[in-house]
Structures are given as structure tokens and as C-alpha cells.
């Protein structure tokens, strides 16, 4: 009797110790993976990628885009840095090569359909296709004095640029057991909580029926607001913030919605041809867009790189991530704690 009790106790202790060890080891691996995204350690998760894996990163000449390029190249992914300004792109390329990284440059203006087609033709001719697309190129503001034209300029880069480039490159994604990856660098500013019209909010959150026509109708309503000096689309706390962030906000609402549409339309592709499509927020990052406030570019790039390099068994699609966590599209509390006023650029 006593012997049986002792055995049970010992078994319980052994099981508890084993569980604790496994949990601790798992956390240590995760911590090493997190640190690796800032270039300090080695990723220990299963590597599905190789030097033959092709990644395209837009807006890769500075800030978060440059860091994403750097981290992917460090992990051994063949990475194509794209930038609208060729001289700036070449300067970024030279700096990366000086660090011993093997990166390739190609000029790309995501607002120019000809430039998009040229990139697609070049990628197909040189590599036969691609495996990873990171839509990072984006702008926060426009200097155009006309309110409608300023809104269109931001939308052309942050939404239509993402949409047009993705649609053009989708046929070039190569079959892979690990699946291909599309990551759209978006923002928690695009959460549905900022949409003031309940009808549009419901339509944007109706994933089964959401489509590009719904997204376009909301954009056109916003442009009409801009032309008439109204505010029927967005729910902003002040007119100053609307003027400063309205264009950026609606562009990210559209980008998030587009992510869901593309992910849904691709979800039933057969095994070996899967494409995982997600969007993420880098958080307030120390770049020109946030007036050099916030965490490091390594922190800003972290979730995008993590999503790109996840093993296929852990991949999801059609989600919005912040700090490696699926936060959904409706309400993100951290967004309301940001001092947006302090990041409005001086005129």
C-alpha cells in the first residue's frame, strides 16, 4: 500500500518536472526566435526556406522595409529589395552588401502599373517565380494642398499599390510544400472601430460577402467627404486628427479588408499550392513616419519576418497580427493609447 503511494508520488513528480522542462524549453526557443529577428541569435524553428526561396520586399530602402530585407537576407532567403527611387535603393543595397548580405535590387513604383509589370516580367525571367511577398511600401501623408488629391495619393500607395502588385504577382507564386507567403504591412489605425458608419462597419466585417466593390464604395464615400468637407466615414476624435490621419486611416482600413478578401479567395487551393495571406502592424516604430518615436526598426520588422518564416504547420491566413499575436480586425486597445497628436508632422 505504502509502496503504491510512493510510486504514484514519484510518477507525479516526474511528470510535473517533465512538463515544466518542456514548457521552459519551449519558451527558451521562442525567446531565441524573438531575439533572432533582431539579429542576435539563431532561429531554431524548422527551416522550410533555403537560398532558392525568393522574397520581394517593397519600400525596402529605409526604415521597416530595409530591416525586413536585412533579416530575411540574414536567414538565407534570396531577397529582392525594391524601391521607387533607384538611387536610394542602390544606396541601401550597397550598405547591405557592405554587411556581407547577398541582396538584389530592382526598381519598383507600386503606384505605376508599368513598373509593376516590369518587376513581374523580370522576376519570372530571372527566378521563374517567387515564394514571399512583403507589401511594405507606404506613406503617411501627402503634401498636396487639394484634399481629394492628397487622399488619392495616400490611397494609391497604401491600398491600390498593395492590391495591384499582389494581383500581378499571384500567378508567379511557385508551388511549395511549405506554402507561399504574402504579408501586408498595415496598421492598427485600420481597425474597424474607427469606421463611424455602422452599415459599412458590418459590411467590412462580413468576411463571407466582403469584396473589392464594398471596399471601393467606402473609399469613394470617403473621397466624397473630402471634397465636401464632411466626415461620414471615419470616427475621429477631432478635426485636426481627421485632417492629419484620415487618409492614412482609410487606406489601412482598405488594406486590411483587401487582405481578408485575397486570403479567403485563395484558402481552398490544394496542398502544395497554398498561399498564406496576412497583415500586421509594426507598432509605433522609430522612423520618419512616426516622427522618430517608438521602438526600434528591429521591433517594427519582427512580426512581418516571423509571419514569413513560420513553418507551414503553424501558418494561418486572413488574420491581423500585432506583436506576433492575432488581434482581429475590429478593436485594438493599444491604438487608443498612442499619442497621435505628437506625431503630426510640422507643416
Phi, psi of 80 (to 5 degrees): -100, 110
- Could you tell me which of 39, 66, 84 has the C-alpha nearest to residue 286? 66
**Catalytic-role residue among 160, 245, 248, 331:** 248
Please give the span between the terminal C-alpha atoms of the chain, in angstroms, as a whole number.
83
Angle at 105 between CA 94 and CA 155, to 5 degrees: 115
Q: Can you tell me whether residue 138 is helix, strand or coil? A: coil
Give the long-range contacts of residues 108-114, CB within 8 A, separation 24 or more: 108/58, 108/82, 108/83, 108/84, 108/137, 108/165, 109/84, 110/58, 110/59, 110/84, 110/135, 110/137, 110/157, 110/161, 110/162, 110/164, 110/165, 111/156, 111/157, 111/160, 111/161, 113/164
CA distance 94 to 82: 13
Nearest to 214, CA basis, from 199, 227, 228, 229: 199
Which residue is associated with the grid cell 521602438?
295
Catalytic, 245? Answer no
Q: Are strands 180-185 and 103-107 parallel, antiparallel or unpaired?
A: unpaired
Which residues have C-beta within 8 Å of that of residue 289, sequence separation ≥ 6? Answer: 63, 138, 139, 140
The interaxial angle of helices 63-74 and 86-98, nearest 10 deg, is 40
Cβ–Cβ under 8 Å, residues 298 and 203: no
CA-CA distance, 54 to 143, in Å (whole number)? 35
> Which residues have a catalytic role annotated?
248
Amino acid at each position: 500500500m505504502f509502496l503504491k503511494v510512493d510510486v504514484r508520488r514519484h510518477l507525479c513528480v516526474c511528470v510535473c518536472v517533465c512538463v515544466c522542462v518542456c514548457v521552459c524549453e519551449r519558451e527558451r526557443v521562442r525567446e531565441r526566435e524573438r531575439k533572432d529577428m533582431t539579429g542576435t541569435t539563431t532561429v531554431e524553428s524548422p527551416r522550410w526556406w533555403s537560398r532558392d526561396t525568393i522574397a520581394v520586399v517593397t519600400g525596402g530602402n529605409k526604415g521597416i522595409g530595409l530591416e525586413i530585407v536585412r533579416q530575411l537576407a540574414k536567414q538565407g532567403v534570396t531577397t529582392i529589395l525594391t524601391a521607387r527611387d533607384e538611387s536610394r535603393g542602390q544606396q541601401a543595397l550597397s550598405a547591405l552588401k557592405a554587411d556581407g548580405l547577398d541582396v538584389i535590387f530592382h526598381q519598383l513604383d507600386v503606384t505605376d502599373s508599368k513598373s509593376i509589370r516590369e518587376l513581374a516580367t523580370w522576376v519570372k525571367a530571372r527566378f521563374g517565380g517567387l515564394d514571399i511577398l512583403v507589401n511594405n511600401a507606404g506613406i503617411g501623408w501627402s503634401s498636396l494642398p487639394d484634399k481629394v488629391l492628397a487622399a488619392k495619393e495616400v490611397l494609391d500607395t497604401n491600398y491600390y499599390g498593395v492590391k495591384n502588385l499582389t494581383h500581378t504577382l499571384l500567378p508567379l507564386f511557385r508551388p511549395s510544400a511549405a506554402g507561399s507567403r504574402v504579408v501586408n504591412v498595415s496598421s492598427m489605425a485600420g481597425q474597424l472601430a474607427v469606421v463611424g458608419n455602422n452599415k459599412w462597419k458590418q459590411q467590412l466585417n462580413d468576411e463571407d460577402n466582403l469584396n473589392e466593390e464594398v471596399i471601393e464604395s467606402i473609399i469613394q464615400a470617403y473621397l466624397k467627404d473630402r471634397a465636401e468637407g464632411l466626415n461620414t466615414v471615419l470616427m475621429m476624435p477631432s478635426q485636426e486628427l481627421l485632417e492629419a490621419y484620415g487618409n492614412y486611416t482609410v487606406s489601412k482600413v482598405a488594406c486590411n479588408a483587401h487582405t481578408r478578401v485575397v486570403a479567403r479567395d485563395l484558402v481552398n487551393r490544394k496542398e502544395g499550392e497554398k498561399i498564406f495571406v496576412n497583415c500586421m502592424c509594426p507598432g509605433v516604430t522609430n522612423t520618419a513616419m512616426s516622427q522618430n518615436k517608438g521602438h526600434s526598426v528591429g521591433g517594427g520588422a519582427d512580426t512581418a519576418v516571423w509571419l514569413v518564416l513560420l513553418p507551414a504547420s503553424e501558418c494561418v491566413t486572413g488574420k491581423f497580427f500585432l506583436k506576433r499575436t492575432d488581434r482581429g480586425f475590429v478593436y485594438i486597445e493599444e491604438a487608443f493609447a498612442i499619442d497621435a497628436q505628437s506625431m503630426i508632422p510640422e507643416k
